[in-house]
Amino acid sequence: MTRPRITVVGSVNLDLVVSTERLPEPGETLMGGSFSSHPGGKGANQALAACRLGAEVSLIAKVGRDANAEEALALLKRDGVNLSGVGVSPDQPTGVALINVAADGENQIVVAPGANAVLRPEDLPERIEGALVGQHEVPLDTLAEAVARCNGFVSLNLAPAMDTADAVLKRSDLVIVNKTEADFYGRQALLAVGGRVAITLGAEGAILFADGVEIARAAPPKVDVVDATGAGDTFTAALTVALLENQPADQALRFACAAGALAATRAGAQPALPLRHAVDALV
């Protein structure tokens, strides 16, 4: 089988993670948490996940001229993601995400975008060959230009939730949102755009629609959840890869749910991203 060719336009962060028994209430300080740092960012997570699931992946992104950049890009380099499109900002730091993870795997995330916020249309190639994966952690005008320059399959993870140009949505072959994001955009408005729309439902799985009609529904396999960070990014990458491989809709959705579930079984976003053989075995 020919490997799908994917370009990801998106964010690169260093995740600074504190694990606690539970998430704090507003204004509350919790003691006794453990600390770790991991490469992250939705764009980098999706790029690495797609690579580990068998795709040939290039990343277009921006980092700072600082020590965090090397750590943030380390696993992408090791696993063979093409980083020739990753630029360096002279005056913005590498993006950072502050993540609190509870014992049940739930999390809270605050992001300081840094160099991600200055990824500009002029940083893009003239044409994006093959498939494109994008999300909302880079400027929306840059994402819109990337969509316009893509000559293949366009997969958009509309997260974090914010207003998106109609032209971008109409050009998308696949839109992926979670249930909170679906409420923000309006489920009927998303389905009216046409094309395929996937809505993830956490532990309940996911639903896939085509032209407004439900065509597949899948539940994730039972796993021991350690950290849900990165599970949604893994789902996005997995569903995109599966559809590019021309897997039937129900099979592709089961594959994506299994990949997302596996990503939640280990701590950290990128360290937990599963390899293809592990997902195939779980499916």
pLDDT digits (tens, 9 = 90+) for 207-265: 999 999 999 999 988 888 887 778 999 999 999 999 999 999 999 999 999 999 999 99
CA distance 23 to 157: 26
Mean per-residue pLDDT for 35-53? 95
In a domain, 26, yes or no: no
In a domain, 189, yes or no: yes
Q: Provide the annotated active-site residues.
A: 233
Check which CATH number belongs to the domain holding 248 and give it: 3.40.1190.20
Rg of the chain taking only CA atoms, in angstroms: 18
Q: With a cut of 80, say whether residue 137 has pLDDT above it.
A: yes
In a domain, 272, yes or no: yes
CA 180 to chain centre: 16
CA distance 12 to 2: 28
Q: Which domain holds residue 200?
A: 5-13+40-94+119-282
Residue 281 belongs to what H/E stretch?
A: helix 276-282
CA distance 112 to 100: 15
Q: With a cut of 80, say whether residue 1 has pLDDT above it.
A: no
Q: Could you give the angle at the alpha carbon of 121 between the alpha carbons of 117 and 127, nearest 5°?
A: 135
**Close Cβ partners of 56 (under 8 Å, ≥ 6 residues apart):** 3, 4, 5, 6, 82
3-state secondary structure 247-268: CCHHHHHHHHHHHHHHHCCCCC
CA distance 248 to 204: 21
Amino acid occupying residue 133? V
Q: With a cut of 90, say whether residue 275 has pLDDT above it.
A: yes
Q: What share of the chain is helix, strand, coil (3-state, %, to 5)?
A: 35, 30, 35
Half-sphere exposure of 191 (CA within 13 A, CB side): 14
Confidence of residue 149 (pLDDT cuts 50, 70, 90): very high
In a domain, 217, yes or no: yes
**Close Cβ partners of 183 (under 8 Å, ≥ 6 residues apart):** none
Give CA separation, 262 vs 61, 92, 215, 230, 239, in Å.
26, 34, 24, 10, 14
In a domain, 31, yes or no: no
In a domain, 234, yes or no: yes
In a domain, 260, yes or no: yes
**Close Cβ partners of 281 (under 8 Å, ≥ 6 residues apart):** none
Comparing 267 with 44, the larger pLDDT belongs to 44
CA distance 254 to 281: 12
Tell which residue, 224, 225, 223, 260, has the closest CA to residue 102: 225
pLDDT of residue 82: 98
Q: With a cut of 90, say whether residue 123 has pLDDT above it.
A: yes
**Close Cβ partners of 188 (under 8 Å, ≥ 6 residues apart):** none
Q: Looking at the 3D structure of the chain, how many domains does it have?
A: 1
In a domain, 32, yes or no: no
